[in-house]
Amino acid sequence: MTEQADFASTGVSATAPEGGPSGAPVDVDIAAVLDRAAAGGRITPEEALVLYRDAPLHALGSAADAVRRRRYAGTEHIATYIIERNINYTNVCVTACKFCAFYAAPKDVGKGWTRDLDDILRRCAETVELGGTQIMFQGGHHPDYGVEYYEKHFAAIKKAFPQLVIHSLGASEVEHMARISGVTVEEAVTRIRDAGLDSFAGAGAELLPARPRKAIAPLKESGERWLEIMETAHGLGVESTTTMLMGTGETNAERIEHLRMIRDVQDRTGGFRAFIPYTYQPENNHLKGRTQATILEYLRMIAIARLFLDNVAHIQGSWLTTGKEIGQLSLHYGADDLGSIMLEENVVSSAGARHRSNRMEIIDLIRSAGRVPAQRSTTYEHLVVHDDPANDPVDDRVVSHLSSTAIDGGTAHPELKLVDAR
């Protein structure tokens, strides 16, 4: 049976209950749209909404996997991971997002902290020793940290560890540092790029449509402004990833609108390297546990992202927030990457994400999903392909949350020492 015949056998059509982005009901032949998407055709936001809500789960996942296999023909048997560290340089923040359990207000004496440069470099050294290739340098919007702060730190990291890729920050931090330093966004991006920033993370995207964004992050820039800053960065040669925070009370139509906004910018710039949806964690924040995306909603989002974001190369599964088994399942719904062994992570862990893993387990998860594991670089080149289990790494020090203030036991391996960066 051909893939198209398989999709057509669903024989389902539907009308989007929420309507399309315009609000008008839209009749969609689900089987025909799945056939078109699986064959590489572009689907509309209205069609995407109907597929997201009503397409049979197996057919939706099969279509997304067909797109993945076509895009990566020749290497479709491979799924990737990366070893990285998220160095949170401060938790002091003036933005006070309602979903965040990590930040401390500037006046919250005793709760706020900032890491000094020596501590940051020590963490970089540990990352290198453990085979990490990337650091994410992320923290709060500190009221005193302008462009100069990031220039100093990025330059120091690159001088000591030129082999590390600095994949860090996002549009919200750029907006903040430019305002603090009294410079344009263009100047801010140029200066931190020249100091050593290699790539922007998708930090701060949350939900891009206005209503849910204002509900959870009222002090942040608009979704349109977030995308405008990313478009500026792409024009200055700094690519990025982009994300979606699911489960804070947004509608299905708003989730699809988030994708539509990303796709429109990507059509102009081509600068988004990957899309990474993850689920809201309800502990220790102002939103509490009122809303949360289900596992099926998450898997459907992975699949619809692969079908709708036809101009974004990589879709990443998030085992950190959904669990390792669901991350593994995402590889059958269009994801080609299982994210990272994150040596340090404090932000979503502070809100309740307690999943931990290690390099050997991630390799096993990918292999038991029927794929060949490969360690990748920031730009998705395959650094090590684990095609023979007999040659798998056996270093049990490469674990997620090796250092974490948010998870008990996150101070493993104190024997790690500074290494010679040369």
> Looking at the structure, do residues 173 and 284 belong to the same domain, yes or no?
yes
Encode pLDDT of 50-61 as tens digits. Answer: 999 999 999 999
**pLDDT score of 344:** 66
Query: Residue 311 — pLDDT band, cuts 50, 70, 90?
Result: very high
Question: What percent of the chain has pLDDT above 90?
Answer: 58
**399 in a domain, yes or no?**
no
Closest CA to 82 of 319, 246, 325: 319
Residues 145 and 255 in one domain: yes
Residues 127 and 263 both lie in one domain: yes
Q: The tokens of 420 are what? A: 């010679």
| Residue 406 in domain | no
Residues 8 and 106 in one domain: no
Handedness of CA 154, 157, 162, 167 (dihedral sign): negative
* CATH number of residue 141's parent domain: 3.20.20.70
Number of helices (H), then strands (E), belonging to the chain: the values are: 16, 12
The dihedral formed by the CA atoms of 325, 102, 359 and 408, expressed in degrees to the nearest 10: -90
**Are 198 and 297 in the same domain?**
yes
Return the pLDDT at 99: 57
Q: Is residue 169 part of a domain?
A: yes
In a domain, 418, yes or no: no
| Total count of domains within the chain | 2
Together in a domain, 249 and 354: yes
Residues 334, 301 share a domain: yes
Count other Cβ atoms within 10 Å, centred on residue 107.
8
Q: Say if 38 falls within a structural domain.
A: yes
Kindly write down the DSSP assignment for every residue of 251-302, as one continuous string.
-HHHHHHHHHHHHHHHHHH--EEEEEEEE---SSSSSTTS----HHHHHHHH
Backbone angles phi, psi at 297, to 5 degrees: -60, -40
Report the pLDDT averaged over residues 15-39: 75
Q: Exposed (0-12), middle (13-18) or buried (19+): which is 214, by Cβ within 10 Å?
A: middle
The encoded tokens of residue 324 equal: 């390792």
Q: How many CA atoms lie within 13 A of 133 on its CB side?
A: 14
405 lies in a domain? no
Q: What pLDDT was estimated at residue 242?
A: 96
Q: Does 417 fall in a domain?
A: no
Structure tokens at 249: 């009370």
Query: Among 150-159, 316-325, 358-367, 413-422, where is mean pLDDT lowest?
Result: 413-422
Q: Do 236 and 370 fall into the same domain? A: yes
- The confidence score (pLDDT) of residue 318 equals 83
Are 192 and 300 contained in the same domain? yes
322-360 tens-digit pLDDT: 778 888 999 999 999 998 887 765 544 444 444 456 788
What pLDDT was estimated at residue 12? 47
The verdict on 346 and 272 lying in the same domain is: yes
- Write down the pLDDT at residue 421: 34
Q: What is the pLDDT of residue 183?
A: 98
Residues 150, 12 share a domain: no
Determine, yes or no, domain membership for 305.
Answer: yes
Q: Give the domain extent around 177.
A: 78-391
Provide the whole-model pTM.
0.85
Whether 45 and 159 map to the same domain: the answer is: no
Asked if 340 and 83 touch (Cβ cutoff 8 Å), the reply is yes
Contacts with 334 (C-beta within 8 Å, 6 or more apart), sequence order: 61, 64, 65, 67, 68, 302, 303, 305, 306, 307, 315
Q: For the segment 169-222, what is each residue's pLDDT rounded down to a tens digit?
A: 999 999 999 999 999 999 999 999 999 999 999 888 999 999 999 988 888 899
- Tell me the three state secondary structure of residue 315: strand
